[in-house]
Structure 1
Amino acid sequence: MFIAIQPQQVAALARQSHLPIMAGLALRFAVIVTTWDQRRRTRKHLRNLPLHLLDDIGLDYPAALAEMSKPFWRA
């Protein structure tokens, strides 16, 4: 069974000062990759939402289109 760790949890671990340098670097890398993956998945789901659901989440089509067109590494 796979248990997902949320990006916030990984970031909290990465801020621990008692970690060895390599462990801290690995955790920071994990935070970046996890954040990028979350953005990619969110934008992919946004692309598939019907217009009436965009209204439900408070986005108009131009704002959703602007968000969908961003690359995963851009916030």
Structure 2
Amino acid sequence: MHLPRYLARLPSWPVSPARGHSDQLLAGLLRLQALCQRWRQNARTRRQLAQLDPRLLGDAGIGFAERQAELDKPCWRD
């Protein structure tokens, strides 16, 4: 699992030295929340992709191999 790479790609907020650790903690929690939301979205869209019939896959221009490759990914991979 490449968790540090995902955390590094999330937006960060500037932390003022006067506020210190509480702002850093809040920023970290916000980044974690955004990460969890992205993972849930990945899982949701892959479930929807799994339910598409062959005609709809063809209309979307998605082949069976592409579909299977996407479905084989864990939720934390984009």
Q: TM-score range by the shorter chain?
A: 0.7 to 0.9
| Aligned-pair CA distance for 1:15 | 2.7
Residue-pair matches, total: 63
| Equivalent residue in structure 2 for 1:71, among 66, 70, 74 | 74
Unaligned runs of 5+ in 2: 1-9, 17-22
**Which 4+ stretches in 1 moved above 2 angstroms?**
none
Matched, 1:61 2:64: yes
Q: Does 1:17 align with 2:20?
A: no
Tell me by how many angstroms 1:18 deviates.
4.3
Using structure 1 for the length normalisation, give the TM-score.
0.74
Residue deviations 1:12-66, cap 9 Å, x none? xx53314710110001101110110000000000000001111122211110011
- TM-score of the superposition, structure 2-length normalised? 0.71
- Computed over aligned residues only, the root mean square deviation of the Cα atoms, in angstroms, reads 1.6
Structure 1: 5+ residue runs without aligned partners? Answer: 1-10
